Amino acid sequence: ASHLLLESDSKVVVQACTSEDGNYGNYALTSRIKEILHMNWTAHVTHIYRESSTAIHALAILARSQKHVLQVHTAPLIGLVALLDTDSRPTYAM
């Protein structure tokens, strides 16, 4: 079986993807996500705090500044590996 984990720092996006209500914006995108979630997959949609994913936040900022709709990177961006390392560490004192 295939596995899908969708994490978003937007509670509205999580709710739009998991709700049966169709009153959310970008119907085409949310309906396609719902189709994928209802396939024979193990799927989880969860909310994460923006502060817990600095690498994703950095990529989102980069994407907003690009002119291209899709950009594929063949190697990690400079600085991204360090952010991923930081994100993988617990943020609480043990």
pTM: 0.55
CA neighbor of 14 nearest in space, from 3, 5, 6: 6
Domain locations in the chain as residue ranges:
2-47, 51-87
SS3 42: strand
- Per-residue pLDDT tens for 50-77? 777 888 788 888 888 888 777 788 888 8
Identify the pLDDT of residue 92. Answer: 58
Is the per-residue pLDDT at 78 higher than 80?
A: yes
- Per-residue pLDDT tens for 5-44? 888 888 988 888 888 776 767 778 888 888 888 888 888 8
Q: Inter-axis angle of helices 11-18 and 27-37, to 10 degrees?
A: 60
CA distance 94 to 90: 9
Give the gyration radius of the chain's Cα atoms.
16
